[in-house]
Chain A
């Protein structure tokens, strides 16, 4: 019943979204509030209908309705319940519906949040959101129908791919989808600003907040994906430069560039065209990512089947988006002129500009590397492959430049910085970085990129910590607060700045984690119970693992062969760990569950790679020979710590509220200011005497609407 209702709801969602989309544009054009209200209600209605449709899919999964093609292909009776719920996004068909649901959620949220604000933009915002929603609903209905029935009802489903039977499966895709779909809202605002011609400072502010929100989810989603790959794919790595991973990285890169260059527009009124183009590009990249993943055009171990329908649909949609963006930007070009020029080559603006170029350069390299095989094959007919070595070779130098900029930016002043000051401010951090590099060389490290990463990383950390320290010190001194309070107030006063710095700290920590990969060590050995294997870590520890034996266990959906290992570090017993091999029943497939033992600095990563054939036969030790691959991955935990720090920093930066100087909401403050009418001209002259009465004002005269948390 519920699945049928869901399918019905999905069908109704299409006319409603089209109706709303048309009405929104008409309402905006004619200034008709009733049409606009109807359109905005359509947005909420589409959310409701898509939620019912998704509930229908989930109900079909929970009710083991194998007469549904999608359920029979991604579920089985013995699948654990929470994997049945996450079945909604386990495969192409459901996940496109899930995508539309996320999009509807953010659309509805945006419309609701702006029910009283930005009203001149909202008709177009709703219209654009509804058109995009309609596109995804059309795809869901006609190309990848999740409610398609089989002509018969199978006894059981084919089961979920074991690699998806992992708790990250329930977390990673939704986070990523939230990130991807949330980019639609800022895009809609940008287009609405272009259409309505209201290109003042407002749209950029709304857009920035939304992009930051999407960025938050996308970053988390990517990091979760890395974690999943690390735990589940079982080859000791977390990033493979697979086309699909690259696809998720592209919008992230462009959005990161926007988040930096938008500051120049906000504070200096420059780069308006650039920022507009970046917003459009971010959204087009999310569609491109979907296209790449779902069309199967680029060969990837990750991708879905080759589906030309989807390829054409998305390609067409991308083309339309591209043309619309270009035309609108060209049309509004006169209004997008910069208010000012760059004042100096040595300024924070320049650092931001360089950051933008480097980011887009990295994005271009990733895009080129991903598309190169397809382009080459199309042009010359010969097939080539571009793999991780290419991406590393190109992106590591660019990444290092970006890393260095994170340390340079905060120290350079806006507009222009004098060289003398630069010298003064850079001396110590650069010294710290150099010292780190030299120390590493002295310790015998010879890996150039790793040394650079650590040296630059220390330089950046030094700069940021100094910034925090200086700010806190100044506050503590001026306000007479104790240091902890001063620190809190410092961050609260300018959350964007300090939140951003915290994000940078997270990025540095993460980069150091990446650099750790240069020092991975591994050993592969076939062992009988009681035998042991030793591996030395880059930090000089010697791990000895003793294979104690194999046991079997029965899970809900699988058999587990669990190898128990006794772990000694530098001859000292530190515990035991297990590593498994599983044999799933539906679908019938083996699966490696790696054992990971994390310390602050390194992971011990054990793969049970082969068992002897007879293992199933008995528990006698002679049948228990197994081959292990033991790796020590230094600094991998830092990647996850870095991700956490980035998340915290982003939350600080995006938390709503904050000081708005000079703004008095409601303008009801007539009696507030006791102004002194000074006749003098523009030049500041200190010789006018002050009337003591005019000076101090008690905080009680503050208008209630002003953010009180500022002090």
Chain B
């Protein structure tokens, strides 16, 4: 019987270890996932948010992209999906994803450094849903009479970065 108890203790020990790892892991690494408007609100309310890691998603403002090849810095403006007037400036120093255009929807990780500037450490484009959802719109009759095939290409939603990559993985 005592042998069983020892195994049981071992089991509980391992479970406790894993729980502890997961718990501390979550609390150490979890970041808020915000829209630009939420980011600015929070930064105004709690200044500690500045310098803290966050994830932000929004739409790139068309025409806002600037590349400075000497500084190797990408600069663009991202607006809030719900309120296009709320905008933040993004600085990014790594290669942009291939699917990045200045109309893309992006997900960024990084820090808010104040004054409306977001230092991104990672930028991903999010087009996957549009890629597959588009045909649904079509089915609903978006391509009515006279609409030729070219019309539904205007969305440019081909980004689907690895949407298909995953097509493989499912």
Contact = CB atoms under 8 A, between A and B. Distances in A.
Interface of A: 69, 73-74, 89-92, 95-96, 99, 152, 154-156, 158-164, 169, 172-173, 176, 225, 228-229, 232-235, 244-245, 247-248, 289-290, 293-294, 296, 299-307, 341-345, 350, 353-354, 357-358, 361, 364-365, 368-369, 372-373, 382-387, 389-390, 393-394, 397-398, 524-526, 587-592, 607, 609-610, 612, 625, 627, 629
B76 interface: no
Q: Which 6 residue pairs across A and B have the least CB separation, nearest first?
A: A305-B132, A173-B168, A609-B95, A361-B18, A587-B158, A302-B166
Given A302-B128, A384-B30, A386-B26, A612 B69 contact: yes
Given A358-B14, A390-B30, A612-B69, A342 B7 contact: yes
Contact of A625 (B30, B69, B109, B132): B69
B170 A293 contact: yes
B24 to A, nearest CB: 8
Choose among A96, A155, A385, A397 the residue with the greatest number of B CB atoms under 10 Å from its CB: A385
Contact of B32 (A155, A306, A383, A393): A383
Given A225-B168, A248-B169, A610-B69, A629 B6 contact: no
B30 A385 contact: yes
Interface in B56-95: 67, 69-70, 72, 93-95
Contact of B28 (A172, A303, A384, A393): A393
Given A393-B21, A629-B95, A306 B167 contact: no
Contacts of A305: 128-129, 131-133, 136
Given A158-B153, A176-B168, A305-B132, A365 B158 contact: no
Contact of B94 (A225, A373, A629): A629
B44 interface: no
Nearest to B22: A365
Contacts of A385: 30-33, 55, 109
Contacts of B6: 345
B166 A304 contact: yes
A161 B17 contact: no
Given A394-B22, A625-B69, 18 more contacts: A73-B135, A158-B153, A296-B128, A301-B126, A303-B128, A341-B4, A345-B6, A357-B18, A361-B17, A385-B109, A387-B29, A393-B21, A398-B21, A588-B156, A592-B95, A607-B95, A610-B69, A627-B95
Given A610-B67, A627-B69, A368 B22 contact: yes
Given A160-B164, A294-B170, A302-B165, A365 B18 contact: yes
Contacts of B128: 296, 300-305
Given A296-B129, A590-B98, A607-B95, A161 B163 contact: yes
B109 A387 contact: yes
Contacts of A387: 29, 31, 55, 109
A342 B3 contact: yes
A609 B96 CA distance: 7
Given A152-B149, A384-B31, A385-B33, A163 B164 contact: yes
A390 B29 contact: yes
Contacts of A389: 28-29
B124 interface: yes
B159 interface: yes
A89 B167 contact: yes
Contact of A390 (B26, B94, B125, B132): B26
Nearest to B109: A387
A627 B133 CA distance: 35
B160 interface: yes
B167 A164 contact: yes
A163 B162 CA distance: 7
Contact of B163 (A228, A245, A304): A304
Interface of B: 3-4, 6-7, 10-11, 14-15, 17-18, 21-22, 24-26, 28-34, 55, 67, 69-70, 72, 93-96, 98-99, 107, 109, 124-126, 128-129, 131-133, 135-136, 149, 153, 156, 158-170
Choose among A247, A301, A389 the residue with the greatest number of B CB atoms under 10 Å from its CB: A301
Contact of A244 (B93, B131, B153, B166): B166
5 contacts: A176-B168, A296-B128, A345-B7, A384-B31, A385-B31
Contacts of A289: 170
Contacts of A343: 3
Contacts of B7: 342, 345, 350, 353
B169 A244 contact: yes
Given A152-B149, A361-B14, A591 B98 contact: yes
Given A525-B72, A589-B158, A154 B166 contact: no
Contacts of A368: 22, 26
B99 A589 contact: yes
A372 B158 CA distance: 29
A344 B6 CA distance: 10
Contacts of A245: 169
A393 B4 CA distance: 32
Contacts of A394: 21-22, 25
B29 A393 contact: yes
B99 to A, nearest CB: 7
B3 A345 contact: yes
A232 B162 CA distance: 10
Given A526-B72, A627-B72, A629-B94, A304 B30 contact: no
B170 A524 contact: no
Nearest to A296: B129
A6 to B, nearest CB: 19
B57 to A, nearest CB: 9
B132 A304 contact: yes
B116 to A, nearest CB: 21
Nearest to A393: B25
A524 B67 CA distance: 14
Contacts of A159: 158
Contacts of B4: 341-342
Contacts of A154: 149
Contacts of A235: 95
A224 B120 CA distance: 30
A301 B124 contact: yes
A357 B30 contact: no
Choose among B96, B132, B167 the residue with the greatest number of A CB atoms under 10 Å from its CB: B167
B140 to A, nearest CB: 13
A429 B80 CA distance: 58
A394 B125 CA distance: 27
Contacts of B159: 589
Nearest to A343: B3
A103 B107 CA distance: 36
B21 A365 contact: yes
Contacts of A390: 25-26, 28-30
A227 to B, nearest CB: 12
A164 B164 contact: yes
Contact of B22 (A69, A163, A164, A364): A364
Contacts of B94: 524, 629
A173 B34 contact: no
Given A247-B169, A353-B7, A612-B69, A69 B135 contact: yes
Given A161-B163, A301-B126, A304-B132, A95 B168 contact: yes
